[in-house]
Amino acid sequence: MSWESILIQLLNGLAGASSLFLVAAGLSLIFGVTRIVNFAHGSLYMLGMYLAVWLSGRVGFWVAVPLAAVSVGLVGFFIEFFLLKKIYKAPELLQLLATFALALVIKDAALWAWGPEDMLGPRAPGFSGAVNIAGSAVPQYDLLLILLGPLVLVFLQLVLSKTRWGILVRAASEDREMAGALGVNQRWLFTGVFVLGALLAGLGGALQIPREPASLNVDLRVISDAFVVVVVGGLGSIPGAFLAALLIAEAKAFCTGLGYSEATLVIEFVIMAAVLVWRPWGLLGRAQAPAKNPGFAQAPAEFPARKVFIAGAVLLAVLALLPVAAGGYTLVLLTDMLVFALFATSLHFIMGPGGLYSFGHAAYFGIGAYAAGILVLNKITTMEFALALAPLAAGLGALLFGWFCVRLSGVYSAMLTLAFAQIAWSAAFQWNALTGGSNGMVGIWPAPWLASKTAYYYLTLILCAAAISFFWRAIHSPFGYALRAGRDSPQRADASGIDVRAVQWAAFTIAGLAAGVAGSLYAFSKGSISPESLGIQRSVDGLVMVMLGGIQTLTGPLWGAALFTWLQDATARNLDYWRAVTGMVILALVLLLPNGIGSFFQKKK
């Protein structure tokens, strides 16, 4: 290990920081004015990459890069004009869901247009050589990128401070309503900001193509990196985004330079923890006013009537008697439904009564599944003990991640949950020795006495029914009251002596634990696990189940999970673009029922 190699890594990190800064700056600008966190921002970056690779084969690199950026800006225009305009007044959660759904649609669009293979970009003509620095060859192109980051920062700062448009953007970021009362037409301001933000993301992606191939995994990696950057730098602050992008890229480069490339995931984490403790609103951020339209206006959940208990008992009895009549295939499907009912119920617990948005709940499902697999395959414990211990691992993960999430509110917390899920996914994907990497793990079978489909079905039924009843009970316990009070009015709850954060943290951990139960049950029922079990798609599935069932209902997650699992089983096999379909379904739900999907389902019941 030499200083030279560290220096080289630092330069490499600086070059990477420029692209990351462009994405994070766009994300920050858009949030500042529209109060929408664009989950599809990484997708716009990815689109910039693909477009630039595709175009540079036709018009050459130096024309392709700006052309790709402008095209992505145009895509941004359409997104803003036809989608976001309709949801500016919708509850925060729906806005997040809509942009998230958009990310799914864009990914499948890229898959459709360019196929699943990575696409290698050309080198930049004129900058394809290397410069000798401290005895090592540093690509000229990296030096160009290092220069470009600060240039864009200066350009953005000039636009924001010297132009009328920039002044109006800053005014509207501070107080939209007042800007409107002064005669500022926010509509065009919003469109303009979104187009600029999209263009920056597209440019960031396009500039990256000489350094890495365009691939379909880029979107989530970039968005979670960008989330970490804006959380560290302060959402809404452009210089903050620059500072944080540098800090994180350099810290990672330093780890790599020292020869600990595995530590890069950890260092990101440590920086975030330090910043959140020291400056909860980011290095250069300002405290955010509470969201104007946070969750759904929820009626207090009433204690279920006697007939509900009777109906529950009947349902349970029917489920218990089913194996007599049903075949093996039905039992496997029912087992899946039960597992996902628990998964959805645990997610609903933190999203409904808890009011915390989780876009990465699959992390805990996956940790449970992987822990079970690792314990059994390495012969550390028997299957029975593994089933008992694995959820604890998930609970521990939720305990750790939850500490961060409850420290932030609303969109911040949502961004973190996604970033953490992405970190968990990367760990599972990369840690070959422990998790089997991209291949996953096979041969995770239950103990002999549980090996039959019927026996395993009963085990799942007992555990899931018990856990789900626990959640229902918890919602109507003093703990549940405290949780709901913290959701509806954090300040008042605080003033009444409720430690809102502690209550939310506990809820988050319990939900993670239960997701772990679902995950380990799932692992043993399938006999194998792959990184997909904690991928973003699984988190999306959970969200769709909760939304389908209705977020304001107690039993909604059950029906949502059952319906979704059945639909997926019946149709997913025949659909190449299942992701895009889920995305479209979410978008349709959000657009057609902008004032609350939950309330709609509530009325239907």
Partner 1 sequence: MLELKRLNSGYGRAQVLFDFELRLGAGEVVALLGRNGAGKSTALKATMGLLPLFSGEILFNREKLQGLEPFRIARLGLGYVPEDRRIFTGLSVRENLEAGRQPPRAGAPRWTPEKLFELFPNLGRMRDRNGVSMSGGEQQMLAIARTLMGNPRALLLDEPFEGLAPVIVDAVAASIRELKREGLSVLLCEQNLRYARLVADRACIIEMGRICHTGSLAGLDSDPALRERYLSF
The binding site for partner 1 (CB under 8 A) comprises 164, 167-168, 170-171, 173-175, 177-186
Q: Which is nearer to partner 1, 360 or 596 (CB)?
A: 596
Q: Which is nearer to partner 1, 185 or 261 (CB)?
A: 185
- 386: amino acid identity, one letter: A
Residue 187 burial (CB count, 10 A): 13
- 347 close to 551: Cβ distance less than 8 angstroms: no
Task: Read off the DSSP letter of residue 130.
Answer: E
Q: Which is nearer to partner 1, 180 or 280 (CB)?
A: 180
* Cβ neighbours of residue 254 closer than 8 Å, sequence gap 6 or more: 6, 9, 10, 13, 267
Q: How far is the CB of 190 from partner 1 (least distance, A)?
A: 12
Q: How far is the CB of 286 from partner 1 (least distance, A)?
A: 8
Q: How far is the CB of 160 from partner 1 (least distance, A)?
A: 10
Q: Which is nearer to partner 1, 183 or 443 (CB)?
A: 183
Q: Which is nearer to partner 1, 187 or 605 (CB)?
A: 187
Q: How far is the CB of 426 from partner 1 (least distance, A)?
A: 37
Token pair for 307: 């007939």
- 420: amino acid identity, one letter: F
Residue 313 burial (CB count, 10 A): 10
Token pair for 571: 């149709």
Q: How far is the CB of 162 from partner 1 (least distance, A)?
A: 10
Q: Which is nearer to partner 1, 286 or 492 (CB)?
A: 286
- Token look-up 């699959």 returns 362
Q: How far is the CB of 181 from partner 1 (least distance, A)?
A: 5
- 136 close to 5: Cβ distance less than 8 angstroms: yes
Q: Which is nearer to partner 1, 85 or 221 (CB)?
A: 85
* Cβ neighbours of residue 82 closer than 8 Å, sequence gap 6 or more: none
Q: Which is nearer to partner 1, 173 or 533 (CB)?
A: 173
Q: How far is the CB of 158 from partner 1 (least distance, A)?
A: 14
How far, in Å, CA of 533 to CA of 348, rounded? Answer: 19
* Three-state SS annotation for 264-326: HHHHHHHHHHHHHHHCCCCCCCCCCCCCCCCCCCCCCCCCCCHHHHHHHHHHHHHHHHHHHHC
Residue 299 burial (CB count, 10 A): 9
Q: How far is the CB of 172 from partner 1 (least distance, A)?
A: 9
Q: How far is the CB of 297 from partner 1 (least distance, A)?
A: 9
Q: How far is the CB of 175 from partner 1 (least distance, A)?
A: 5
Q: Which is nearer to partner 1, 9 or 237 (CB)?
A: 237
Q: Which residues, listed in sequence order, are joined to residue 507 by a DSSP beta bridge?
A: none
The phi and psi torsions of 603 (rounded to 5 degrees) equal -65, -40
At 441, which helix (H) or strand (E)? Answer: strand 441-442
How far, in Å, CA of 531 to CA of 512, rounded? Answer: 18
Residue 212 burial (CB count, 10 A): 14
Q: Which is nearer to partner 1, 295 or 366 (CB)?
A: 295
How far, in Å, CA of 148 to CA of 508, rounded? Answer: 41
